[in-house]
Structure 1
Amino acid sequence: MSTAVDSTVEAAESAVAAGKQRPRFILASASPARLQTLRDAGVEPEVIVSGVDEDNVTAESPGELARTLATLKARAVVANLDDHATVLGCDSVLEIDGVGYGKPGTAEVARERLRAMRGRSGILHTGHCLFDTTTRHELRELASTTVHFADLTDDEIDAYVATGEPLVVAGSFTVDGLGGPFVTGIEGDYHNVVGVSLPLLRRMLAEVGIPWPALWQTPPPFEYDEAEAARYDETRGGTERAQAAAAAVHSLLPGGGRVVELAVGTGIVAAELVALGNLVHGVDLSTAMLRHAKVRLPGHVAVADAGRLPFGDRRCDAIVAVWLLHLLEDSDPVLAEVARVLRPGGVFVTTTEKTESSRYASGRTPADRRIQDALPHLIARATQYGLTLDGATTFPGPTKGTVPPATYPLVRFRRSLR
């Protein structure tokens, strides 16, 4: 890597160390393999499919075709953004004897291609286009990897085609899936064959001032170990409080839409919301807590920062935050994200005044320091993001001996229609 790029990386990493916010990173591709490759490397991109018609694009060479398609995908997504982001478009083309092959589309074509490829070698080209809307830089790069194929039998080809996998991937094969045993070797970057060259992407990001570690999920300010996660529910009121919280939240939801719970924890409240008929997805930073949430919400939880949600603009009907805001040093990033992902007219339901509720229940005076879930503060800040208070209720905490149970306020903010 050049000295100039080295210097850019060092400067960008210093910015991250100083607390710079993680950039919004968008993958302009529907490829599950590309998404999983980035996730395995610690990056959780926002996915926006470009909708580019690949069949009607031509170029002077297979490599240039891959780069052109990647560029068209990135530009198509950038054209529809209403906020700054760094967008990555990718596309792969397999070259054999100077001819480029994309997705075969049909079993007959896939079978024909695999028979022509067996026992031979090809070059897998992956075009990368990185468009950073803040700097207005567009980088177009190509990574190429030589792939050696096994001498497949006709029976192996027929069985592989019958799985459906080769019909939807460039070159009619995968190296990270069912096609892996049919690849005898590669010369170059393995990840490039899967669909995105991580070393190349790192260098491209550095050129626009973004170090690779800046895209990693932000570690939580505190982490629960497995033992703490296992006993968390019983130390926080258990099912009794979860059912009370869910019933109150449910009364403020519009119904029939997509609900996302921030800081979902073990999923105990979310599970009760599901029992009431809601479709709920949960995000949390604690992997220990999410291991429990995955049991209650299989397939509907993800590691994510509430200040950088993995959802597109205006995609959610309702956002729920139960006992989150009082933990934050600054609630503004969360409010901004809530406003971004809520559809016009969508609602944000959150607990408020948690600390004060507990103090009143135990006979103490209000705290001197106003924290991030204090209602006056929350109303003032939410207004800045187009969120207006339009509903409220309460729910009781669990009974604890002779101490009166706390009553927790729950409020609803509605996203403006603009």
Structure 2
Amino acid sequence: MSLRFVLASASPARLKTLRGAGVEPEVIVSGVDEDHITAESPGELARLLATLKARAVVASLTEHATVLGCDSVLELDGVAYGKPGTPEIARERLRMMRGRSGVLHTGHCLIDTSAKQELRELASTTVHFADLTDDEIDAYVATGEPLVVAGSFTVDGLGGPFVTGVEGDYHNVVGISLPLLRRMLAQVGIAWPELWKTTSEYTYDETVASTYDETRGGLTRAVAAAEAVDSLLPKGGRVLELAVGTGIVGAELVALGNLVHGVDLSPAMLQHARVRLPGHVLAADAATLPIADRRCDAVVAVWLLHLLNDSEPVIAEVARVLRTDGVFVTTTEKTDASRYADGRGPNDTRSQDSLAHLAATAARHGLLLDGVTTFYGPTRNTGESPVYPLVRFRRL
């Protein structure tokens, strides 16, 4: 029987670290409310949160699995600091941290349901911070990155230049200690190489992924799509792109000043997206998003809904993760000719992206149609530039 390894965390950095080590975990987010959990020390808090996450995911499973829960906090002067959440708090914390050192604690909880074992461990790494200027802090906060990471900094992203050194496991600062995880797995009878997966196990042909952009309008169409989407987005918020694909549209949205995270089901497509959106993409199903309620300012879906047999589960998830007054921007009314080109003939479910269907479905989930635009872009290798309708729904 194949090993089912589950990561109970929505952290793109943890997923990226595991993938870099040859591991492709299944991601299931626990939904644990971190804001109301307390412990005797920052280290114990990290370990407790990791344990609660792992246990919550295990409770949701119907089959055996090996589940890893992780959580990180930064300790400074004996106080634990998690994700700041707002620019004001992030700015205050970065000013307090500059020129100083803190300890990044990451709690790890591994539960193997077959062996009926639960292991709880803590890895701690000392981090030395540069003496940032006020201008550097303001610019960093403006990127949005420090708002959503423990301690208000990253070592593997935009915050890397502001970390002058680490004492201990570098990967632990990213959010998961690979040497510690290897030892924990060994204790439940799993050798690290058992987690390695070959490219033959991927669900999407890499050949298709590698030619996807050039056969679908390339950068010209991506720029046109991103500019149209951007015109319907709120400024300065967190944008989630569903079916991010190779990240070609998402990267153009970033260039226009948006903070973009992306999800996709295809590991091969995500290999390309991780180059364009490093640290900001995640393997996930748009119908079961690993995101807590009301966390996104905007959700974007470009050329997704026409592929679905039933778009309602995706729309319901969009409504769940959007904040009040957040927006859902999606392409609509893809032509029958395009459907045939994709190898899909006419059928009763082909109109999942029709405007009438979307408006009615969205309304059932508290989303009101309140904006529309169009854009042009070449498609496939035909050189034609059809018009693409784009609509916006607002969360009531």
* TM-score (normalizing by structure 1): 0.54
In the TM superposition, residue 28 of structure 1 has moved relative to its aligned partner by 11
Aligned equivalent of 2:26, options 43, 48, 54: 43
Larger Rg: 1
Counterpart position of 1:159: none
Query: How big is the shift at 1:304?
Result: 1.4
Please, which runs of 5 or more residues in structure 1 have no aligned partner? 1-8, 10-22, 58-65, 79-83, 93-102, 108-125, 131-139, 146-161, 181-188, 200-218, 360-365
1:28–1:293 Cα change, 3 Å: closer
Q: Tell me the C-alpha RMSD between the 2 structures.
A: 5.4
Q: Aligned in 2, Cα 1:228/1:368: closer, same or farther, shift over 3 Å? A: closer
Aligned to 2:204: 223
Change (3 A) 1:404 1:237: closer
Give deviations 1:361-402, integer Å, cap 9, x for gaps.
xxxxx9674521111111111112111111111111328999
Note the alpha carbon deviations across 1:287-337, whole angstroms, 9 max, x for none. Answer: 221222222112211211111222221111111000000001111221111
Residue 279 (structure 1) aligned to one of 259, 263, 266: 259
SS of match in other structure, 2:373: strand
2:289 and 2:230 mapped to 1: Cα distance?
Answer: 22
3-state SS of 1:273 partner: helix
Cα distance in structure 2, aligned partners of 1:260 and 1:404: 29
Q: Which runs of 5+ in 2 are unaligned?
A: 62-66, 79-107, 122-164, 191-200, 340-344
Change (3 A) 1:54 1:28: farther
SS of 1:55's partner is: coil
Q: Is the 8 A contact 1:260 1:319 kept in 2?
A: yes
Cα shift at 1:198:
9.3
Q: Could you tell me how far apart the structure 2 residues matched to 1:390 and 1:129 are?
A: 46
**Match for 1:223: what amino acid?**
Y
Q: Assess, with a 3 A threshold, how the Cα gap between structure 1 residues 399 and 163 changes in structure 2: closer, same or farther.
A: closer
Give the Cα separation in 2 of the matches to 1:89 and 1:400: 42
Preserved contact between residue 50 and residue 74 of structure 1 (Cα < 8 Å): no
- In structure 2, the CA distance between the partners of 1:55 and 1:353, relative to structure 1 (3 Å rule), is same
The answer to whether the Cα contact below 8 Å between 2:51 and 2:109 also exists between their aligned partners in 1 is no
Alignment partners' CA distance in 1, 2:354 and 2:268: 29
Query: What residue number does 2:38 align with?
Result: 53
- TM-score computed with the length of structure 2 as normaliser: 0.57
Does residue 412 of the first structure (1) align with residue 392 of the second (2)? yes
Say if 2:253 is the partner of 1:270.
no
In the other structure, the counterpart of 1:191 is 184
User: Matches of 2:50 and 2:252 in 1, distance apart?
Assistant: 44
Identity level (%): 48
Give yes or no for the alignment of 1:74 onto 2:52: yes
